[in-house]
Amino acid sequence: MIPGGELYLLRRGELKESHTLAVARKDGAYSVLEAVLKEGRDPAAVTAEVKDSGLRGRGGAGFPTGLKWTFMPDPEKDKRSRYLAVNADESEPGTCKDRVLLREDPHGLIEGCLLAAYAMRLDAVYVYVRGEYRLPYQRMQAAIDEARAAGLVGERILGSDFSCEVHMHKGAGAYICGEETGMMESLEGKRGHPRPKPPFPAGFGLWGQPTTVNNVESIFNVPFIVERGAAWFRGMGTEASPGNFLCGISGHVERPGVYEVPLGINAKTILQEYAGGVWKGRALKAWIPGGSSTGLLPGELIDTPMDHDSIKAAGSMFGTGAMIILDETACTVRASQVIARFYDHESCGQCSQCREGTQWLSEIFTRLETGRGTAADIDNLERLARNMAPGKTICALADAAAIPTLAVVRHFRDELLAHVEAGGCPLESRPSESRAGEEVPA
Amino acid sequence: MALPAPLVAELTELVKKYPEKRAGLIPALHRCQEELDGWLTPETLEEVAAFFELEPVEVYGVASFYPMFNLRPVGRHVIGVCHNISCDLRGAQEVVRQVCELTGAPVGGTSPDGKFSVRTLECQGACASAPMFDLDGVYHEDLDSAKVAEILGGLS
């Protein structure tokens, strides 16, 4: 089904008992690591291969992974400990892809961690998994234990001079810990308050030591790139965004799921061919290309390639490639209300623009949806969002709330106005409530 | 009340994977919550603080930052219904309503018999199998009203 490509990210995970060492090894797990160690390959050459492949981070920002690795200081000159923190705090609404890799192919991820550790000459790897992912955590921990018993993790791996520990670490339900410096604070046992940057993690990371933070799917790509080469990887996807990616598609579709597709595939193809189209034979009203922080786009723009540059040109962002589909009966004000509530809930509270701004966005969308909004509120949304972002706060959470707000005002101003004129949501009768899912005090 | 000895032994082992002891704090709070009545009492927080050689307020500051930590008693079963965008689009509000009706617990509260606590949760990363809830740490996905009734009906 993949035009001109092959499945590699999800292939092993479809085998029975794929999470066990026996099945994974029979399928070739750790063979790339073994070859690299046997040859005694130059660590810099491994980094160069990843850099040349053009792999872009799959956690949302799309920063080139190999380039990030080169920011680590030279270990000959800087004798401090060195770490990789793998970001498995998958919490951006719509995003549900890393869970599949952690659960179905933990050994693939561990091999990626070890190759990254070899390339950057690290001392240890910490995999930060959101606390709710209990089964993925257990699978990963069991896989690490099995790998350690087989001499694949720990001291002198496979009899070589290369030693590396891989540790699991459990978060506790805060989205902000997916922000790389928030994650490091959390891993140190503190509140997940993002750090001002600079200094950047490569210079001052975990415990003040050089650290790289990479997303699960980014690291998962590494063994394939090291084995098959940058040219192979560039044979898939687009010039600026090579490779396959895991597209989670959710919302109003017939077959929601996590599908492996090449970057640059048309979003319409994913919706129609993979997800079976908009559910119940309905028409498409709007779609979100890459998780809740990427602005929604009108249905007419579905005919757009799913890669960083194309989605940007269409007026949104690729993000985590997590498509959320809204059918013709959906209310974009309601959707915005739910999304705004999320960022209000998740703001860490350090920066006033974010702490106050996310709360106001949530309040105003709620007012509009429940019939208490005015025409001035639409301008207020825009004004607030422009005072929150870009670049006005320690981290990008304020941007993540502002971007979808500006998108709905831009593309669906008429629907916002219709809520003011109708004194509430004109689309369908909804349960009366003051706020979406407000909790009552216990 | 001191932390049970086996738990202290486990935490002692746990912190060894970090260069600094404090890094084990959040995993340790998880283990205490799992082992000790499903919530972190003020006494437990003080014991954890003593273990980590921190002020109790430091530990409270961390515990209260993270939504997974319960700082009040919870029912025998805890049901967290995701109500974020992907679940909302596929009927999460109806799941919340049905769960509250079947359990007798309000959102954010516990049923009068102490059996169920119900809460709404932000995105749980199960968007492609929405709607979903987490029941005592286990995901139940692709929910519909029959499935919800069956799962909750089977609980003692």
DSSP state letters, A99-116: HHHHHH-HHHHHHHHHHH
- Quick check: B66 and A251 CB within 8 A? no
**Is residue A269 packed enough to be buried (19+ CB in 10 Å), middle (13-18) or exposed (0-12)?**
middle
The model's pLDDT over A220-275, given as tens digits with 9 standing for 90+, comes to 999 999 999 999 999 999 999 999 999 999 999 999 999 999 999 999 999 999 99
Q: Which residues contact B70 (CB under 8 A, 6 or more apart)?
A: B33, B38, B39, B40, B78
Please check whether residue B69 lies inside any domain of the structure. Answer: no
Distance (Å) from the alpha carbon of A286 to chain B's nearest alpha carbon: 12
Write the DSSP symbol of residue A280.
Answer: G
Q: Domain ends where: B40, B63, B86?
A: B63
Question: For chain A, what's the residue count?
Answer: 442
> What is the number of other CB atoms lying within 10 angstroms of the CB of residue A415?
19
The model's pLDDT over A291-338, given as tens digits with 9 standing for 90+, comes to 999 999 999 999 999 999 999 999 999 999 999 999 999 999 999 999
| Chain A residues within 8 A of B85 when measuring between CB atoms | 93-94, 251, 288, 292, 324, 335, 338-339, 342
List the single residue in B with minimal CA-CA distance to A166. B17
CA B101 to chain centre: 21
CA distance B49 to B57: 8
pLDDT band at A6, cuts 50/70/90?
A: confident
Please check whether residue B132 lies inside any domain of the structure. Answer: yes
Mean per-residue pLDDT of chain A: 95
The model's pLDDT over A312-324, given as tens digits with 9 standing for 90+, comes to 999 999 999 999 9
CB A187 within 8 A of CB A174: no
CB A55 within 8 A of CB A225: yes
B84 at interface of A, judged by CB pairs closer than 8 A: yes
- Do B85 and B57 have their domain in common? no
Please list the alpha-helical segments (H only) found in A196-237. 216-228, 230-234
What CATH number has the domain spanning A244-327?
Answer: 3.10.20.600
pLDDT at B156: 77
Class of the domain covering A12-234: alpha beta
Per the listing, tokens 């659960």 go with A103
**Across A413-438, average pLDDT:** 75
Look at residue A346 and tell me whether its pLDDT is greater than 50.
Answer: yes
Look at residue A10 and tell me whether its pLDDT is greater than 50.
Answer: yes
Per the listing, tokens 């604070």 go with A185
List the single residue in B with minimal CA-CA distance to A94. B127
Tell me the CA distances in angstroms from B110 to A172, B77, B150, B155, one per residue in order.
21, 9, 20, 15
- Do B52 and B106 have their domain in common? no
Tell me the CA distances in angstroms from A334 to A170, A175, A271, A337, A412, one per residue in order.
33, 21, 22, 5, 12
DSSP per position, chain B: -PPPHHHHHHHHHHGGGSSSGGGGHHHHHHHHHHHTTTS--HHHHHHHHHHHT--HHHHHHHHTTSTTS-SS---SEEEEEE-SHHHHHTTHHHHHHHHHHHH-PPBTEE-TTSSEEEEEES--S-GGG-S-EEETTEEE-S--HHHHHHHHHT--
- Quick check: B84 and A436 CB within 8 A? no
Tell me the CA distances in angstroms from A83 to A40, A120, A212, one per residue in order.
21, 9, 6
pLDDT at A347: 98
- Of the candidates A98, A252, A430, which has its C-beta nearest B89's C-beta? A252
pTM of the model: 0.95
Tell me the CA distances in angstroms from A335 to A62, A288, A408, one per residue in order.
25, 10, 10
Backbone torsions φ then ψ of A248, nearest 5 degrees: -90, 125
CB A90 within 8 A of CB A130: yes
Domain count, chain B: 2
B3 at interface of A, judged by CB pairs closer than 8 A: no
Tell me the CA distances in angstroms from A408 to A157, A213, A319, A337, A381, one per residue in order.
52, 32, 17, 11, 10
Strands (E), A205-283: 211-215, 244-251, 257-262
- Quick check: A171 and B66 CB within 8 A? yes
CB A59 within 8 A of CB A291: no
The model's pLDDT over A40-49, given as tens digits with 9 standing for 90+, comes to 999 999 999 9
- Quick check: A188 and B27 CB within 8 A? no
**Is residue A257 packed enough to be buried (19+ CB in 10 Å), middle (13-18) or exposed (0-12)?**
middle
pLDDT band at B154, cuts 50/70/90?
A: confident
CA A147 to chain centre: 26
Domain range enclosing B39: 5-63
CA distance A169 to B17: 10
Distance (Å) from the alpha carbon of A322 to chain B's nearest alpha carbon: 9
- We report the CATH number of the domain holding residue B106 as 3.40.30.10
Distance (Å) from the alpha carbon of A115 to chain B's nearest alpha carbon: 20
List the single residue in B with minimal CA-CA distance to A258. B128
Look at residue A2 and tell me whether its pLDDT is greater than 90.
Answer: no
User: Amino acid identity of B120?
Assistant: T
CA distance A24 to A266: 32
Look at residue A433 and tell me whether its pLDDT is greater than 80.
Answer: no
Ramachandran category for residue A63: left, alpha or beta (phi over 0 → left; psi -120 to 50 → alpha)? beta
- Of the candidates A192, A248, A249, which has its C-beta nearest B65's C-beta? A192
CA distance A160 to A180: 32
- Do B9 and B52 have their domain in common? yes
CA distance A85 to A126: 5
Which residues in B113-152 are b (16+ Cβ under 10 Å) and which e?
A: eeebbbbbbbbbbbbbbbbbbbbeeebbbebeeeebeebb
**Token code pair at residue A14:** 């479809």
User: Amino acid identity of A439?
Assistant: E
- Of the candidates B22, B27, B86, which has its C-beta nearest A188's C-beta? B22
- Do B83 and B137 have their domain in common? yes
- Quick check: B122 and A342 CB within 8 A? yes
The model's pLDDT over A124-138, given as tens digits with 9 standing for 90+, comes to 999 999 999 999 999
Please check whether residue B109 lies inside any domain of the structure. Answer: yes
- Do B55 and B111 have their domain in common? no
- Do B92 and B43 have their domain in common? no
Residues 115-154 (B) with a CB less than 8 A from some CB of A: 119-130, 134, 137-139
Distance (Å) from the alpha carbon of A228 to chain B's nearest alpha carbon: 31
CA distance B146 to B123: 23
pLDDT at A440: 44
Look at residue B150 and tell me whether its pLDDT is greater than 90.
Answer: yes
Distance (Å) from the alpha carbon of A306 to chain B's nearest alpha carbon: 18
Which stretch of DSSP H or E encloses residue A127? strand A124-129
- We report the CATH number of the domain holding residue B55 as 1.10.10.1590
What CATH number has the domain spanning A332-422?
Answer: 1.20.1440.230
Beta-carbon contacts below 8 Å between A and B: 165
The model's pLDDT over A367-377, given as tens digits with 9 standing for 90+, comes to 999 999 999 99
User: Amino acid identity of B7?
Assistant: L
Look at residue A434 and tell me whether its pLDDT is greater than 80.
Answer: no
Tell me the domain boundaries of chain A.
12-234, 244-327, 332-422
CB B125 within 8 A of CB B134: no
CA A8, A13, A15, A20 dihedral sign is positive
CA distance A166 to A134: 18
